A and B are shown apart, each in its own frame.
Chain A
Amino acid sequence: MATHANVSLPLPVLPEGWSGEKDFKAIGSISAATQRSIEPVGPHFLAHARRARHKRTFSEDDRIQAQENAKKVEDDDSGEISEPEDPSMLLRDAKDWKQQDHYAVLGLSKYRYKATEDQIKRAHRKKVLKHHPDKRAAAGGTEDDSFFKCIQKATEVLLDPIKRRQFDSVDERADVEPPSKKAAKDGKYYKLWSAVFKAEGRFSKVQPVPKFGDEKSTKEEVDAFYNFFYNFDSWRSFEYQDEDVPDDNENRDQKRHMERKNNNARKKKKTEDSARLRKLVDDAMAGDARIKQFRQEANASKNKKKLDKEQAERDAKEAKEKEKAKAEQDKKDAEEKAKVERESNKKNKEQAKAAVKKNRRVMKGSVKDANYFVEGEAPASAINAVLADVELIQGKIDADETAELADKLRDLKLAADIKKVWTAEAKRLVDGSKIKQSDVQALA
């Protein structure tokens, strides 16, 4: 319990001759106690349970509880400013403070421009505790306070916002060198350039600075990034690298000359810096696969319409040509076919004509073979009559009938058989009323 009661009645005066070991005399021990159950209720019981279960005493418990509450604060205090000190740095002379790395002097080189004022203060305190000339002297060292002066100078620069900004402007150790083309290959491109632009971004008057991103960044993000860095508004200045202006009042002209010179140098450096940054961004952009990809995508989408149209036209033209060719082919085929047909018809006709002629010859031959159906030398009248009949029949029958008749007659040798055929034919024709009975003279 943190509270305590106050009792106004005074304590007795120590009797004469009282003595005890270490002023304490144990006389008895406490009377036996009763076992009772306490009610497991309320915050004080919880504290009791905590003590009982972890077997802590009051003071232990108090301490552990206090530690638990205090731990967070303690943690912050340690650990961050514990860089090994470069022995050569310890030998520095405070006179050439312009060349010294203030962050390294205070052990903040991994923080640099990111170090907070609080960190700087604490770092300073830590260094002072270690490097104060008195400490050195006590440790048996020399009373050389040059490094201590370096510390003081570093703190002075870093705790003054204007001076710190001037120093940060020229703090090249915080720069990240742009990667070579070779190094930026095989997937490291974005990582390496990110670091470069993160470092460059510290000079921006506009914060936060857009991130370089990676291969998954959208076009908007990438555009925003490059736009930002092409329109970079830098607070970087180069006063820190000024040549010392003599501040004796003796030579005003000399002073003015120096100032002018310094001013020009600053401007020149600033211009150079802008150019450097622009080149840096150009380089980054040139190697940036995303830009190419976005351009391709943009082109692709722009050309897509045109290509589509062309493609459509081409397709239409092709289809038309195909159709035309097909039509021509069809026509040609038809013509050829017709020609072949014509020729074959002609041949057939000729053949038929020849066949008819041949058959007619067979017919005439048959009657001749039959000696015109008379015995002995046939008289001219008989011949005429028979031939007239044959011609009559021939004139009335078509090619097929001719062929048929010729077939019947071809192998017959006997006059009677031949006559029979002829008379049958004549009869058929008469029956078919193709010829008149009266016209038939010899073969009736």
Chain B
Amino acid sequence: MSAEEAPAQGATPGERVAIGISFGNSNSSIAVTSFDDKAEVIANEDGDRQIPTIISYVDGEEYSGQQAKQQLIRNYKNTVAYFRDYLGQDFKSIDPTHSHASAHPQEHDSTVAFTIQDKEEGEPSTVTVSEIATRHLRRLKQSASDYTGKQVNSAVITIPTNFSEKQKSALTKAATDAGLEVLQLIHEPVAALLAYDARPESKVADKNVVVADLGGTRSDVAVIASRGGIYTILATAHDYEYAGVHLDKVLQDHFAKDFIKWHGTDPREDQRSMAKLKLESEATKKALSIGTNANFSVESLAEGADYASTINRLRYETIARKVLDGFNRLIEGVVKKAGLDVLEIDEVILSGGTSHTPKIAKNFAAIFPESTTILAPSTTPTAINPSELQARGAALQASLIQEYESEDIDQSTHPAVTTVKHLTNAVGVLSITGDETKGIFTPILSAETAVPARRTIHINVPKEGGDVLVKIVEGGSHIKVTKEDPAKTNGNKEDDSDEDSDDEPEERREKIWKVGKVLAEASVKDTKKGGKVEVMINVAGDLAVTVAAREVGAKGGVRGTLSAP
């Protein structure tokens, strides 16, 4: 290791130049924060913002990124791809499927290694996956250093939510060897959410978010409760059957069959033809995310025969239906796993390269109610590029914590700090009437809010003012399903027009609040006409509750405490 990489661990907060790294199985990206705290994904020397996580060696020379990817055709034996998930794993627990067309992973001591010709002469050497990762991260670091003009020495790196401690420490070690101090490893879906929440126009709110990270080789979905900017992962799902490569596969099969029709040979049987087919299929898939038509053309696909064809988006969506439906099931499953209903999801964030596919976002929009925002490029014009979300989130986190001592960061991310109680039920106030059966529950604190928490709301008083009752109750949300006869629906004035309007008897689903336990009552006297009452609920870490109610603009008010259960 060269001397410039020496200060990786010893850098004081002032000397840190930190970046965000999204280290994916298929692609990696790097982001920096500019002076006004805006995260920006930066391109490597080839101009790629999505840098393929591939390292290739030709005559002892190292290639990375897109250049290495091209080597998959001619030089696949000395090209290492899809290695992120092998980090920190033993050979038994890895799935080597995706490395089929590149250097094959082997068992090496307790870890995984590749036998590649990475020197100009001599025997091929066995390189551990940790070393491969180090080399890849070093290239990323170099690209970032070249861009910023400063020697980058620390990073926040995103990881899947199911990374084990062993994988985390293996990644940290690989990064340290590459001269990068790992400030923090953050979960990919949270990084994506942070990237959205850091936008200046976004407001701090209580919301349930589904982050669908659809990548090249795996899809990870997480349900996150975002409560006042504090994130809690409620459920996750990981899927290796429905991902970007499976969409590629659909196209490969489609064009391979077409080729067989013309030339009688199956390009999938030859390694080189297969590699060409794969690369072009991926390019076609990406083109179909942007336009409605795409060309597919490969010179000398198999047996010297060139092949060219076109495909439109509709056809693609039809043949890829199986895979696309898989994504739907995945996302539905995870919402259920979190104990929530789709009606309770406020936002769906699509992240990862596969999220560019318009049909996926369209399908999701059909699953969730209209009130749910689907943050994908094809459904929301202001959406952030899904491929860049994680790197951006990591860069933002890096800029937040880079001035802290690493000891401080460790202490703050310690389970003692991060593990806290979360409310099981929403806590709110009853409006219209004090009768628990008829009153309408208005949540102040949502369920799954991490305590300690404090929220304030303003509630109107009755038109004529006077004394009012503030009744603090717990509330549970329920999904009311009403089967309605279409005739009846047509006959009655139904002001609620739901997403579907079929002629069949439809199920109308809505989220309602059921009033639960009464916690406290308070009275605010002599409110003015058209005034407002401010109710503040503060739940301490031990679940003791402080309630304060006062008329907006007035002094004093009522204050009371509920002891911890």
Binding site for B on A (CB under 8 A): 1, 3-15, 18, 20, 22-46, 48-49, 51-53, 57-58
Contacts and interface: CB of A to CB of B under 8 A. Distances in A.
B343 interface: no
Interface in B448-493: 448, 450-452, 454-463, 466-471, 474
Contacts of B463: 10
B458 A38 contact: no
B94 interface: no
A198 to B, nearest CB: 38
The residue among A20, A29, A39, A45 with the most chain B CB atoms within 10 A of its own CB is A39
- Nearest 8 pairs between A and B by C-beta? A44-B229, A24-B560, A33-B421, A49-B412, A14-B467, A9-B431, A4-B456, A40-B413
Chain B interface main SS type: strand
Contacts of B429: 7, 11
7 contacts: A10-B432, A24-B547, A26-B561, A30-B519, A39-B233, A41-B194, A44-B204
Contacts of A14: 466-469, 523, 525
A27 B520 CA distance: 5
B422 A35 contact: yes
Contacts of A1: 204, 228, 454-456
Of A3, A22, A41, A46, which is in contact with the most chain B CB atoms at under 10 Å from its CB?
A: A41
DSSP class of A's interface residues: helix, strand, loop or mixed?
A: loop
B442 interface: yes
Contacts of A42: 190, 194, 197-198, 229-231, 396-397, 400
Contact of B431 (A10, A33, A45): A10
B232 A36 contact: yes
A36 to B, nearest CB: 5
A6 B444 CA distance: 10
A11 B450 contact: no
Given A39-B190, A49-B417, 14 more contacts: A1-B456, A4-B455, A5-B458, A9-B459, A18-B523, A20-B523, A23-B525, A26-B520, A32-B565, A33-B423, A34-B421, A37-B232, A45-B230, A46-B412
A33 to B, nearest CB: 4
A43 B427 CA distance: 25
B411 interface: yes
B563 interface: yes
Contact of B459 (A10, A13, A43): A10
B32 interface: no
B459 A29 contact: no
B551 to A, nearest CB: 11
Interface residues of B, number: 96
B433 interface: yes
A410 to B, nearest CB: 113
A29 B232 contact: no
B12 interface: no
Contacts of B561: 26
B149 interface: no
A42 B523 CA distance: 38
Contacts of B520: 24-28
B478 to A, nearest CB: 16
Contacts of B466: 13-14
A20 to B, nearest CB: 7
Contacts of A7: 429, 431, 442, 457-460
Contact of B469 (A15, A32, A34, A41): A15
Contacts of A43: 229, 400
Contacts of A34: 421-422, 424, 448
B5 to A, nearest CB: 27
Contacts of A18: 469, 521, 523
A49 B442 CA distance: 29
| Among A1, A5, A30, A35: residue with most chain B CB under 10 A | A30
Nearest to A51: B452
A46 B401 contact: yes
A30 B415 contact: no
A291 to B, nearest CB: 49
